[in-house]
Structure 1
């Protein structure tokens, strides 16, 4: 098990509808005032990262969406230590624009911006904004070129790149980011193409929610391939956290979320996600084995089972760390109060358990 403390990130609700496709009350808002306060609460509560979402069109309960890079900068202006991960979609962005945007934000915030490269899975969104829709593995080939171009622009002068999707000639970006060697690069996806890309170029790999056994198989696969490439990659896992004073309370909340799910929106999301997965060479994607209940939380966050008392949740987090997880990407029902509760009740227990495990191993 890693000697480094496990890290925590939260999903930024810069998109309306919260993090579950349900008509349950969610005391969460997509507006900037709510999110500035949330970012400060998260920073005080021990969260190192926040992840903004990129959506261009309404759907699946998300009627309104703030753009991720601008929103990330606003949150950085409201905090002092939190690092914000801006989601970027190759296609609408090109790497030169992204590199310049993020380098400027990095300079203005003393090195607190990161990027999540989203290869894209929703064809309807690309069609709506007039972007060419590539086949599954081609989207990941483009994303890999995007990342290689970002790294080159951020670390080299007179950078030349001759790819199938992007070409640069003797390009020098100044000023470069403060972070060395460059801002951290995250990505997600669970297809073979996604995992192989992470094993070659990404700093971090996000996986959907899963059991410790399922996550271990992914971690072992990616790290073995990364080592063969002379590369290393850290692992983040998605989890929807329901921490309450009793297990009964926590389970009741989960049951209510699912009971009040919006069937039309959940099924539409599931159909679109599975259609995208079938386009991969292996014929399945992130949500191939997801039930209706799993799909109520966009990225299978219920599967990670961080649902129960603070002690139960803390023990399950440390079990995730034991199989190679470096970061938990957390979603909540009522973000402000639940992030504060997590910081007060759960995180201290995680640190105690980590210290005990290290003592036992010594």
Structure 2
């Protein structure tokens, strides 16, 4: 199970729909979130794209040196740049980061925003452009490893002798992630992408979508992996988690909800339509599936649902999605810094994934927690430290001695 976090380049909130308790986007804050995700053991981070966000590529590049293991899922927007330039950017980032780049292909579903960026055309035409863009992008990067050139003459895009001199570390190219619910999107995913992403719909709807993608990919002789994009609200008890969900929208007024829903309604994104249909803009029907809460989608575009509950409950719901074939979970929560810690502390130990909180130089043997009364080590810390030390010694000792040390630590 791969678990990613989210870098909030559009700003961070404590209460949705208001500036109360909000946080300004700054490099210092984004770095705090990324370093927390890296240290806590998240596999990667997603950086959003669009005019409401700071640029994903510039932000991700600025965070390479602040992190050590973290992968960056960075957006490519077909039509905004040439596929050859985008390929060179990807190769450079992958090389400079030590092979930590993942690509999120975003066709876009808001015609107004698209036109403001100079991209005109129907929904179908935008997917045609994306299809040609990714074909060129993939071939150019694949041929960097052999020195070849690419010629392509399509309906919308054309290149002659295209090439990149510096290959990415990941061969043949950094993995491609993609989400979309329309027929055109599923065709594109099945034919060219590596990981298909869905927003957090109820499990039955996710299962149906995965089935469609698998069947379409099989016709193309391909297989894909699957991921899901969700928010999380995790607390020590289910009751506390639901209180936190209510608190998140407690400052949200009906006028703001209506304006947001009107903006979403103008979009031609099938995924956005499906998100809006879960709640219909109403506050009284937000739990759309057990522990799946659609309150975020009242005002937030894109992913609009959250898993709500204590650690055991959220882990159980994640496992339900995993049973459908989901292996990658891209999560976020408000505020993003604090929620990254809550989720890691309450849920990570319950998931079928390697524990990765051991970065080089990360100390697992000292006192855990704040020293009490200046001299007292927090209860339980000595035993935990001793057990870690004994397990390290066990690799270099005869089995009998190692077992003896572990029995001493446990006692």
State TM-score, norm by structure 2: 0.76
Q: Give yes or no for contact 2:79–2:130 (8 Å, CA) kept in 1.
A: no
Distance change in 2, residues 1:79/1:230 (3 Å): same
User: Are the aligned partners of 2:110 and 2:268 in contact in 1 as well (CA < 8 Å)?
Assistant: no
Offset of residue 247 of structure 1:
0.9
Which SS does the other structure have where 1:259 is aligned?
A: coil
Shift of 1:328: 1.1
Q: Secondary structure at the match of 1:197?
A: helix
1:33 aligns with 2:28: yes
In 1, the alpha carbon distance for the partners of 2:40 and 2:333 equals 14
Q: Can you give the 5+ residue segments of structure 1 that lack an aligned partner in the other structure?
A: 1-5, 59-64, 354-362
Q: Are 1:181 and 2:176 an aligned pair?
A: no
Cα distance in 1 for residues equivalent to 2:70 and 2:19: 30
Whole-Å separation in 1 of the counterparts to 2:7 and 2:123: 27
**Cα distance change on mapping 1:174 and 1:187 into 2, 3 Å:** same
Offset, 1:88 = 2.3
Q: Residues 191 and 245 from structure 1, CA distance in 2 versus in 1: closer, same or farther, beyond 3 angstroms? A: same
Alignment of 1:135-214 (within 5 A): 135-156=122-143, 157-214=148-205
Question: In the alignment, is the contact (CA less than 8 A) between 1:209 and 1:299 conserved in 2?
Answer: no
1:75 touches 1:84 (CA, 8 Å); kept in 2? no
Aligned twin of 1:61: none
User: TM-score scaled by structure 1?
Assistant: 0.86
Paired position in structure 1 for 2:110? 122
1:53 to 48, 53, 67: 48
Q: Tell me, which stretches of 5 or more residues in structure 2 are unaligned?
A: 282-294, 355-411
Give the counterpart of 2:119 among 116, 129, 132: 132
Matched, 1:223 2:218: no
Give the Cα–Cα distance (whole angstroms) in 2 for the partners of residues 311 and 340 of structure 1.
16
Give 1:260 shift. Answer: 2.2
For this pair of structures, how many residues does the alignment match? 335
What are the equivalent positions in structure 2 for 1:344-359 lying under 5 Å apart? 344-351=345-352
CA distance in 2, matches of 1:296, 1:327: 25
Aligned 8 A contact 1:14 1:66 in 2:
yes
Change in Cα spacing, 1:113 to 1:20, as seen in structure 2 (3 Å) is farther
2:288 maps to 1:295: no
Quote the residue 2:240 is aligned against: 249
Question: CA offsets per residue over residues 186-238 of structure 1, 9 Å max, x none?
Answer: 11221121112111111112211111111111111111211221112221112
Q: CA deviation at 1:89?
A: 1.6
C-alpha distance in structure 2 between counterparts of 1:187 and 1:221, whole Å: 15
* Structure having the higher Rg: 2
Shift of the alpha carbon at 1:127? 3.0
1:84 matched to 2:72: yes
Q: Does 1:71 align with 2:59?
A: yes
Q: Please point out which of 18, 22, 37 is paired with 1:23.
A: 18
Q: Deviations over 1:324-347 (max 9, x none)?
A: 111111110121122122112201
Which fold has the larger relative contact order, with Cα–Cα distance below 8 Å and residues 6 or more apart in sequence? 1
Kept after mapping to 2: 8 A contact 1:187/1:204: yes
Closer, same or farther in 2 for the Cα pair 1:124/1:178, shift >3 Å?
same
Please tell me whether the aligned partners of residues 12 and 334 of structure 2 are also in contact (alpha carbons under 8 angstroms).
Answer: no
Structure 2 residue matching 1:351: 3-state secondary structure: coil
C-alpha deviation, 1:81, in angstroms = 1.0
RMSD: 2.3
